[in-house]
Amino acid sequence: MKVGDEIVIQYHQTHAQFRVTWITACEGSSEKQVGAECLEPEKQLWGAPFPQRVDEYEEQD
């Protein structure tokens, strides 16, 4: 898995497409933490809507 990859996350019987935005290693462990952007926020994967936020890194006009 690498930044930019599209993945599917499933919670109970619902699944949605996400894009990997960052990956970091946990110190002293082989575990990794992964940040992901939901590409289908209308699915409300965890039973609550994702907040709609402006991407702070997106170019502004």
Is the pLDDT higher at 44 or at 17? 17
Q: Could you tell me if residue 55 is inside a domain?
A: no
Count of domains forming the chain? 1
- Name the pTM for this structure: 0.70
Tell me the per-residue pLDDT of 10-25, one tens digit each, with 9 for 90 and over: 988 889 999 999 999 9
Task: Give domain status of residue 16, yes or no.
Answer: yes
Q: Does residue 48 lie within any of the structural domains?
A: no
User: Is residue 61 in a domain?
Assistant: no
Q: Please report, as a single letter, which amino acid is at residue 9.
A: I
Range of the domain at 20: 6-42
Phi and psi angles of residue 43, each rounded to the nearest 5 degrees, phi first:
-75, -15
What single letter denotes the amino acid at residue 54? V
User: Is 49 inside a domain boundary?
Assistant: no
Confirm whether 11 is domain-assigned: yes
Residue 54 lies in a domain: no
Taking only the tens place, the pLDDT of each residue in 24-36 is 998 898 999 999 9
